[in-house]
Amino acid sequence: MEHGFYSDPLSVEIASATGGAQLYYTTDGSEPSPDGASATAYAGPISISKTTTLRAAGFRDGYQPSETATRTYIFPAQVARQQAAPGLPSTWSGGFPADYGVDPDVVSRTLPGYGFGEALLAVPTISIVLDPADLFARTASTPIHSRTGRGRPRSS
């Protein structure tokens, strides 16, 4: 299945052009690898029923690993109620409370006949996928978002 917006659960299959390659995937933003703590060996279709970032790569002895393929499947109804994922910081730089959810006023105060889902689908969307450690690293030289307040976040 192609990445994009969905309202119903779906089943995703992954494949490699390299015969004999073992596929591994992750759903937490990390790079898949045979020895990765959050990687799963692919054994058949993957059920997706909530907003998910799927990353997959192929591995075969004597070969270089494949490029990592990344696809994001977004369920607008879930986005309206999203909370922080486990392991994300509870405060921003300067001690401000972190807020990962959509403002309730945005969800509940749409125009008549035009709900949050329609509004979300009406604007361009980009999915930036990376290991959470690379987003919230404790050193000011590596993160995109600096938790420490030292230095400036870098852009990529």
**Residue indicated by tokens 């607008």:** 76
The pLDDT tens digits for 84-143 are 666 777 887 778 888 877 877 777 777 777 778 888 888 888 888 877 667 766 655 555
**Does a structural domain hold residue 122?**
no
The CATH number covering residue 35 comes to 2.60.40
- The answer to the question of residue 20 being in a domain is yes
- pLDDT tens digits for range 4-62: 999 999 999 999 988 999 999 999 888 999 998 889 999 999 999 999 999 999 999 99
Residues 6+ apart with CB under 8 A from 133: none
Query: Are the CB atoms for 53 and 29 separated by under 8 Å?
Result: yes
Q: Is residue 68 part of a domain?
A: yes
DSSP state of 62: T
Beta-ladder partners of 91? 97
The reply to whether 88 falls in a domain is: no
- What is the domain count for the chain? 1
Collapse the DSSP code of 41 into the 3-class scheme (helix H, G, I; strand E, B; otherwise coil) and give the result. strand
Inside any domain, residue 127: no
Residue 144 lies in a domain: no
Q: How many CB atoms lie within 10 A of CB 34?
A: 11
pTM: 0.77
Determine the structural domain holding residue 39 and report its residue range.
1-74
